[in-house]
Structure 1
Amino acid sequence: MPERRPIRVLPPALMHQIAAGEVVERPASVVKELVENSLDAGATHIAIHIDGGGVRRIAVRDNGHGIVPEELELAVTRHATSKIAVLNDLEKVNSFGFRGEALPSIASVSLFRMASRAQDQDMGWKVHVDHGEMCESGPDPLDRGTMVEVRDLFSNVPARRKFLKTEPTENKRCQDAILRMALARTDVRFTLTVNGRETMNLPENQSLRDRLAAFWPPAIMDGVAEVDAERHGIRVHGLVGAPRTAQGRGDRILLWVRNRPVQDKLLLTALRQAYSGRLLSKEYPQAALFVELPPEMVDVNVHPAKLEVRFSDESSVFSAVRSAVLSALDRGGVLAHPRRATPDPAHQTMPDPASETRFREPPAPSFGRDRSKFPSYAEYRRGPGELPLTPPDPASLSRQSEHDRVSPPDGEPLPASPVPAFASPEIQQPRQAPEVGGYRYLGQVSDTYLVLSRGADLFLVDQHAAHERVLLHNMRRQRTRGDSQPLALPLELPLHPSEAQELDRLWNDLRAAGFRLSHARPDLLHVEGIPPTLDSAKAKEYLRSALDSGASGLEELWTMLSCKSAIKAGQPLATDEALALLESWLVCPEREYCPHGRPTVLRWTPQELEKLFKRK
């Protein structure tokens, strides 16, 4: 049994070091606290110097309103602050700092020097603190503002120092902290010098786009969309990246609440949901989003380093962020009509064509069951305006003669340009280019991509991805109707115990998707009916996938079903089938992405085509 120790009050130096452990994790924490103090002081120019990854030296100089001499020693005393006075002030915090812990915590683990001169003072004043002990106080020739210098960080706490990373890594973390503050205050000039070399010089009064362009590459900035919307009294504004520029890391997701940089799961989830269906599961978008709301709706005092916040009305904040980002993404889609007569590269959302279009030899034509799911264009136009889930008569869809290659019955077709003698035989060029939804259909490439044009722009549509989107849209619209196609002979599906458990969880959702199921015994499933879009072989494959995937519910089952049911790459389509697909797809919401987040369509403007052919 351990020896009993008496309860006692901790020595002041130890208290300061414990507090420092909460506030000062690494050099970037020091930079953040000092720069935030400068911003709270009304500075319009902040200069930061970092040497040795911030361990050897950090210096922050500003032109703020300064500190009077009689308050300078108080500034390095714990729980001394000018930013709150009574308990109610915590409910309406408008400053970055407010606890009075940052400066004494930093001073307790470093050699600390601070000099300041208030606006109405004839001379500046300074204090020196070594590892928490006041060493010197007196006049200083500093002009207006404040200068703080921190040397030999953690020199008296070697255990803390050994957990720091390499100098380049700590430099990068310091720069990231400055980036977040600089983006929140584009009215302030920031300069950063690392080991004697200036690495950042951001002028005051920049736009957010211009300031962000100093940190993010042009390939990302060319596709960013502006966000600015208000809902439930909550304003969300900033910039979000195009889905095509998504990456495998989330390090370019920057979030602020009342201009305070935060790491908040609620905001991150709202952002991710806005991109749902536009990104793959392992992709992350880029975003610089600001959430403005009344101070009483947010508690900023829930984390020692103030990196986390708590909202009084989480559902309102969530819906405000999600709807604002959704609106911005919808405005900037590939199929959106250009806002200018001359396309602006900043609004183009197309991936690099050289990496996205790889033609391949087409496989042998196939006219299997998959093809029968698609109605003819004429049949579709006679229908109620949606692509039916029930397959039509296969015999009506197997025509490949020139009589199939007709334009929609509405209006006169536009004559197509003649095909050059050297044109690829892979392009099935109809004699006349029919129009569908304002686009001219030019043919099919590699039995996989449908070629469209609108004005001077060229589009390629992935037929499988587009059909996936159409099928999912129809499933959502018909909801849980559960149309089923009975089987003459039930399918038998042996079940592993884990699959049987998963089946119990998904039983109602699978029935809603169109499966008619019964238990012959606990380890054997009988399938007596399947969705109309599947054949027996694909139904068994689908059920296996559903039971192994850990699907969360009906929405994921619909997504899987749309993928299994959609026409495949390498499958030839007659013109009327392609037109039926295109017209159904063009009226779908979120049509620019398949249910898995892959793009369904790519676009090239004349300027982009000229660059590909090196015409300019």
Structure 2
Amino acid sequence: MSKIKILDESTIQQIAAGEVIERPSSIVKELIENSIDAGSDNIIIEIQDGGKSYIRVTDNGEGMNKEDIELAFKRHSTSKLQTVEDIYNVLSLGFRGEALASISSVSDVEVLSKTKNSDIGIQAFVKNGHVVESNSIGCPKGTTIIVRNIFYNLPVRQKFLKSSNIESNHISEIINKLALGNSKVSFKFIKDGNIILKTPQNNTLLNTIYSVLGKDYHKNLIPINYLVNDLKISGFISNNNLYRANRNHQYLYINGRYISNLNLSKIIEKQYKSLIPLNRLPVFILNIELSPNEVDINIHPTKQEVKFVNSEYIYNNITNIIREKLMPSVVVPEMKPFNNKGEDKNPLPELFDSLDYTDKIEDKKDEKDINIIVKDLALDTYTLDNYTGKKEVFSVVDEKEKLSNYNKKYLNISSNKSLYKDEVVVEQKIEDILLDIKPIGRVFNTYILAESKNENKLFFIDQHAAHERIMYEKYRREYENEKIITQGLLYPEVLQLTNQELDMVNENKDLFEKLGFILDEFGDNSIALRGVPMIFGEPKIKDLFLDILDGLSKNIKNNYETKIEKIMKISCTNAIKSGDKIDNLEIMTLFEDLKKCNNPYTCPHGRPTLIELSKKDIEKQFLRIL
């Protein structure tokens, strides 16, 4: 007797349903997509008990007659495809003809539907893909599908369902994704009798975002509208003031269909480097419209994973438009003035896991808390050309100063790359903010005060964050132009390393040399550091190099560019610190250097370099205005 047997139809349907219907939110997704495909512009979703006992989706679409209902619940029956070739031109959200059959095989289904040309509607009860009862009934045009007792015949699957609250959250997430991808459709979500979400009908995406995500998103978004050949990219991206700890608020759509594409997300996130804090991610809602035959959506049952025929073309255009729109829209954070209630305590995340790169303000008892320079600092008096600052941390040495500041302790050894004759001209992308303000003093030996000439605003500039940005951009610019100058140490610094650290050095030796470090093995797990990038001035060389090794060893992928970024950011911790005293001349140099940065608004780790306080906010505190 044969061991192999043909499964009965009921078992086949339940197994197939398990691939399509994972939980109540899967049912909601399939029913809403059917409603959208039916031309609905008003969809109401009602659930009870997290959708485990009751789901109702009502639309005002085309509706179905009795024959349509009987066919709709048969497996592989669809109105959206005729041949296999149609898959590559399909624009509807659903097309396989599996969803309704799968739903009816694991739950009790009731359908009420009426077409535009019918005088009366149809009520039908469906089990396992078969209409077991039907009646004529009065109902409005469109379709209502009620699903009860999900997984009643699969008790093991029922046990894997989470609490009603968790299942409701999954449903809410699905509705949010579909609402943001279909702003012309009105959505109403009712949970246990309470309206959770209501979006306007025939409205703009921005208003839908306001309804779904709230005003904090609404006011921090940059519009995207890009068209090249047959590719259109539209939607919104966040500015540098809006970011989250995960990708839950990143919404990508292909021809209106929500997708999950990690490569696309990472390409967009890359443009936010140094604009938002480390370990934080941007928010975006983007729809990519292209010819259906340029994308394959039939590679996963949920249709959320896609493959592009020409992915590089898509990625390059995404990169270009994000870069073009993001930098001009960088905003200066506004200070929340004098919050006496102690609200909004939300400290910045640690910028690095093991190293404290966020400079802390030291409480120096022998200094006054506030040291305001009252006089005007005469913005036009000092320039970079005639600056000879006293502190090494401000010494950014070019070829004209090879030996002037280093002949006591250093021998100058240029790298084998050609030296540059003129400073690299950086494309100015800053707005008029920094061009319109002038420094007027300092407070707490940490923050430079600057006053707006025209806008009645006061700015606080973090001297440490600003100098980190200046050093980082200059270091990166020198690297990209292969013009890093190495300063040789008169007395090599010998570092004793562990086996793991020595392996890390050997693995990245070529990278260190490209970045301006000269080092040799010294035997017995030691290395001799003979040269460092001249831009660092006189750092604590041993501590700096060990910090770089620690940074490379923690959570770092084997990616050359990523390692370069990390080394540069760690190296910039040699910038001036909070609590360091700097004079008027040094303040002006710092300010002038900051204005020349491509991105003067954040440090390399994403912290703001400056924040603003308006005259109006100050006057409110003095009760001059109400």
Q: What TM-score range do you get, normalising by the shorter chain?
A: 0.7 to 0.9
TM-score by length of 2: 0.81
Judge conservation of contact 2:55–2:147 (CA < 8 Å) in 1.
yes
Instruction: Find the counterpart in structure 1 of residue 569 from structure 2.
Output: 559
For each residue in 1:312-339, what CA deviation from the matched residue of structure 2 results, as whole angstroms up to 9, or x when unmatched? 222222233333333333232226xxxx
Per-residue CA deviations over 1:432-470 (Å, capped at 9, x if unaligned) read xxx973322111121111111222122111111111111
Indicate the residue corresponding to 1:317 in structure 2. Answer: 314
* Partner residue of 2:497 out of 491, 495, 498: 495
Work out the CA distance in 1 between the residues paired with 2:228 and 2:2.
57
Identity of aligned residues (%): 29
Question: Shift of the alpha carbon at 1:610?
Answer: 4.6
Partners in 1 of 2:322 and 2:364 — Cα distance?
39
Residues 171-217 of structure 1: per-residue CA shift (max 9 Å, x gap): 12212211111122221222222212223222202222222222334
Amino acid at match of 1:583: E
User: C-alpha displacement at 1:601, in angstroms?
Assistant: 1.4
Q: How does 1:459-538 map to 2 (within 5 A)?
A: 459-479=459-479, 480-521=482-523, 523-534=525-536, 538=540
Q: List runs of 5+ in structure 1 lacking aligned partners.
A: 336-348, 366-375, 396-434
Instruction: Report the secondary structure of 1:572's partner residue.
Output: coil
8 Å Cα contact 1:115-1:127 kept in structure 2: yes
Work out the CA distance in 2 between the residues paired with 1:198 and 1:170.
17
Corresponding residue of 1:236: 233
Change (3 A) 1:522 1:554: farther
Answer yes or no: is the 8 Å Cα contact 2:107–2:147 preserved in 1.
Answer: yes
The CA distance in 2 between the partners of 1:604 and 1:230, in whole Å, is 39
Q: What whole-Å deviation, never above 9, does each CA across 1:258-296 have from its counterpart, x for those lacking one?
A: 111122102211221121112233212222222222222
Counterpart residue identity of residue 108, structure 2: L
CA contact (8 A) 1:436 1:583 kept: no
User: SS at the partner of 1:498?
Assistant: helix
> How many positions carry a matched residue from both structures?
547
Is 1:213 paired with 2:215? no
Question: Is the CA contact (8 Å cut-off) linking 1:46 and 1:190 kept in structure 2?
Answer: yes
Determine the C-alpha separation between the residues in 2 that align with 1:150 and 1:604: 55
Look up the SS of the partner of 1:119 in the other structure. coil
Q: CA deviation at 1:382?
A: 4.8
Q: Match for 2:440 among 407, 432, 442? A: 442
> How far did 1:16 drift?
1.4
Indicate which of 276, 300, 303 corresponds to 2:300. Answer: 303
Q: Paired residue for 1:204?
A: 201
Deviations 1:106-136 (A, max 9, x none): 1100001122222222332333123445412
DSSP-derived class of the 2:168 partner: helix
Structure 1 residue 548, shift from structure 2 partner: 2.0
Alignment of 1:596 with 2:594, yes or no, is no
Q: TM-score, normalised by structure 1?
A: 0.83
Q: Secondary structure at the match of 1:15?
A: helix
Aligned to 1:172: 169
Q: Residue by residue, what CA displacement relative to the aligned partner does 1:455-495 show, whole Å, maximum 9, x if unpaired?
A: 21221111111111111211222223331111121111112
- Listed as ranges, the gaps of 5+ residues in structure 2 are 339-344, 349-359, 368-379, 388-393, 407-432, 557-561
Whole-Å separation in 2 of the counterparts to 1:353 and 1:229: 38
Query: Residue 216 and residue 436 in structure 1: after superposition, are their counterparts in 2 closer, same or farther (change >3 A)?
Result: closer
Partner of 2:266: 269
Per the alignment, residue 7 of structure 2 pairs with 10
Aligned-pair CA distance for 1:75: 0.3
1:482/1:511 contact within 8 Å kept: no
Following superposition, the deviation at residue 97 of structure 1 comes to 0.2
CA distance 1:247–1:227, change in 2 (3 Å) = same
Q: Does 1:222 align with 2:219?
A: yes
Matches of 1:325 and 1:492, distance apart in 2:
45
Aligned to 1:576: 585
- Tell me, what secondary structure is at the counterpart of 2:269? helix
1:569-602 CA deviation, whole Å, 9 max, x = no partner? 1112211211111111112112211111111111
For 1:549, the equivalent position in structure 2 comes to: 551
Q: State whether residues 198 and 211 of structure 2, in contact with CA within 8 Å, keep that contact through their aligned partners in structure 1.
A: no
Which whole-Å CA distance do the structure 1 matches of 2:568 and 2:365 have between them? 29
In 1, the alpha carbon distance for the partners of 2:129 and 2:494 equals 76
Please state how far the C-alpha of 1:351 moved relative to its aligned partner.
5.3
What's the CA shift string for 1:153-177, capped at 9, x where partnerless?
1111111111111112211221221
Secondary structure at the aligned position of 2:534 is classed as coil
- Equivalent residue for 1:413? none
Paired residue secondary structure (1:472):
helix
Distance 1:608 1:83, change over 3 A: farther
**What does residue 352 of structure 1 align with?**
336
2:384 to 373, 380, 384: 380
Q: Is the 8 A contact 1:362 1:447 kept in 2?
A: no
Judging changes above 3 Å, is the alpha-carbon distance between structure 1 residues 170 and 610 closer, same or farther for their aligned structure 2 residues? farther
| One-letter amino acid matched to 1:380 | L
State the distance in 2 between where 1:56 and 1:267 align: 37
CA distance in 2, matches of 1:63, 1:149: 15
Asked if the contact 2:485/2:534 (under 8 Å) is kept, the reply is: yes
